[in-house]
Amino acid sequence: MLSSGFPNLALSAFRTIEKPCLYLQNLVLRSLSSDGLFEDVMYVYQTCRDSGLSSDNYTYPFVIKACAALRDVWFGKMTHCVVLKSGLERIWLCKRRF
């Protein structure tokens, strides 16, 4: 479902899950980002963040990419600050994708 070209179906399924896990969040973000659905990337990230789900070094590259595509400088700066404060900039994957 996620990699089969049906990101909207993945998003619909994600919305029905009461407490999504970090792994599922990252899969949905990757699927949406790959298809250029950046507003949906922001929705999923905000929903997870509001519900208290933490993010990791796989999450932020999709969010930063969405910020750039949407030209949302303020949210991009805020997200970058979260990455710096959490120490994730030291992780190779985040460094490489930023």
Domain ranges of the chain: 7-97
Q: pTM, whole model, 2 decimals?
A: 0.81
What's the half-sphere exposure (Cβ side, CA atoms, 13 Å) at 93? 8
CB atoms within 10 A of CB 60: 24
The pLDDT tens digits for 3-47 are 556 777 888 888 898 888 999 999 999 999 999 999 999 999 999
Cβ-contact 32, 7 below 8 angstroms: yes
State the sign of the Cα–Cα–Cα–Cα dihedral 61, 63, 64, 65.
positive
Residue scoring higher pLDDT (54 or 69)? 69
1: three-class secondary structure by DSSP: coil
How would residue 98 be classed by pLDDT, with cut points 50, 70 and 90? very low
